[in-house]
Amino acid sequence: MTTSQLQTEQHQVSDDTAISIQNVTISYGSYEAVKNVYCDVPRGKVTAFIGPSGCGKSTVLRSLNRMNDLIEGCSLKGRVLFDGVDLYGASVDPVEVRRRIGMVFQQPNPFPKSIYENIAFGARINGFTGDMDELVERSLRQAAVWDECKDKLNESGYSLSGGQQQRLCIARTIAIQPEVILMDEPCSALDPISTLKIEETMHELKKSFTIVIVTHNMQQAVRVSDMTAFYNAEAVEGGSGKVGYLVEFNETEKIFNSPQQQATQDYVSGRFG
């Protein structure tokens, strides 16, 4: 006990783990959305969260960069360790967390500014002092949207198509040089061609970033991810709704070909969900 008190905020986790989710329970008010999740997100890989609607996979994802703070009445029990530091520690500034763990949302949400400013905004408020033109070009190239918008950097971000907007949002997130990128169903509002482009982008990105993606699309999980976590929801006695929990977390190949749990087998073979 005395030794653990000495290492106040620092907790021991493997070097290969970027984010360690330890016994996390997230509730909205008194209603528990997801319960007792243990999961170690590996560094430099793509981790997919799959599962039926309402199983809490997006809730868990949002807890990884404290986006749930914005939802009134949302509370978290347990620990989320980012390189050994508890993200929910008393002295942690959520703004610092979000600078290191960026997020791409379900709906493309560019700022009502020019394409250039969309990228430069995040970098500038994070104190970037280098060559902004170079950073904008590099980010847009990494997000595979440079060719489409290199000639109209001063036009509004809204002038792009939905798929281009989403890649602009990815570029915006890359520009702040986070260590982890969270993606909440980034392709659900897009057509198959745009989806394919974003998936190709992700293969490029995982060379430099750790990626966690929530997806409804199992084929997408197979295509892009190295690790897959399957969440499910079950009704609890006396409760009003369902409570989500983590069923199985393993290499993507094992989850889809030789799952350990019957529920996973049923879900990935399309028997429910």
Partner 1 sequence: MTSLYSDRSSQGIPDLSYKPSLARNVGSRILTVIAGIFSAVAVLPLILVLGYVIVKGGSKISLALFTELPPPPGLDGGGIANAIVGTIVVTVVAALIAIPVGVGGGIFLAEYSSSGWFAQFIRFGTNVLSGVPSIIAGVFIYGTIVTSRVLFGNAYSALAGGMALSILMLPTVIKTTDEGLKLVSDDLRRAALGVGASRFVTIVRITLPTAFTPIATGVVLAIARAAGETAPLIFTALFSPFWSDLLSTDGIFAPIATLSVLIYNFAIMPYEFHNELAWSASFVLVVMILGLNLFSRWLARFAAK
Applying CB under 8 A, which residues contact partner 1? 65, 67, 70, 72, 95-96, 98-99, 102-105, 107, 109-112, 121-122, 125-126, 169, 172-173, 175-176
Q: How far is the CB of 125 from partner 1 (least distance, A)?
A: 5
What are the φ and ψ backbone dihedral angles of 107, each rounded to 5 degrees? Answer: -90, 135
Q: How far is the CB of 105 from partner 1 (least distance, A)?
A: 6
For residue 206, how many C-alpha atoms fall within 13 Å in the half-sphere facing its CB?
20
Q: How far is the CB of 244 from partner 1 (least distance, A)?
A: 21
Q: Which is nearer to partner 1, 103 or 229 (CB)?
A: 103
What are the φ and ψ backbone dihedral angles of 99, each rounded to 5 degrees? Answer: -70, -30
Whether 57 contacts 216, CB under 8 Å: no
Q: Which is nearer to partner 1, 18 or 67 (CB)?
A: 67
Q: How far is the CB of 113 from partner 1 (least distance, A)?
A: 8
Q: Which is nearer to partner 1, 105 or 146 (CB)?
A: 105
Q: Which is nearer to partner 1, 67 or 224 (CB)?
A: 67
Distances in Å between the alpha carbon of 240 and those of 33, 36, 67, 234?
11, 19, 25, 11
What are the φ and ψ backbone dihedral angles of 43, each rounded to 5 degrees? Answer: -75, 140
Report the DSSP pairing between strands 180-184 and 210-214. Answer: parallel
Q: How far is the CB of 116 from partner 1 (least distance, A)?
A: 15
Whether 79 contacts 18, CB under 8 Å: no
How far is the first Cα of the chain from the last one, in angstroms, to the nearest whole number?
44
Q: How far is the CB of 212 from partner 1 (least distance, A)?
A: 14
Q: Which is nearer to partner 1, 173 or 228 (CB)?
A: 173
- Please give the Cα distance from 75 to 13 (Å, whole number): 24
Q: Which is nearer to partner 1, 81 or 123 (CB)?
A: 123
Q: How far is the CB of 255 from partner 1 (least distance, A)?
A: 28
Q: How far is the CB of 109 from partner 1 (least distance, A)?
A: 4
Q: Which is nearer to partner 1, 102 or 259 (CB)?
A: 102
User: To which residue do tokens 């490029």 refer?
Assistant: 204
Helices (H), 206-246: 218-224
Q: Which is nearer to partner 1, 174 or 255 (CB)?
A: 174
Report the DSSP pairing between strands 101-104 and 180-184. Answer: parallel
Tokens describing residue 76: 């978290």
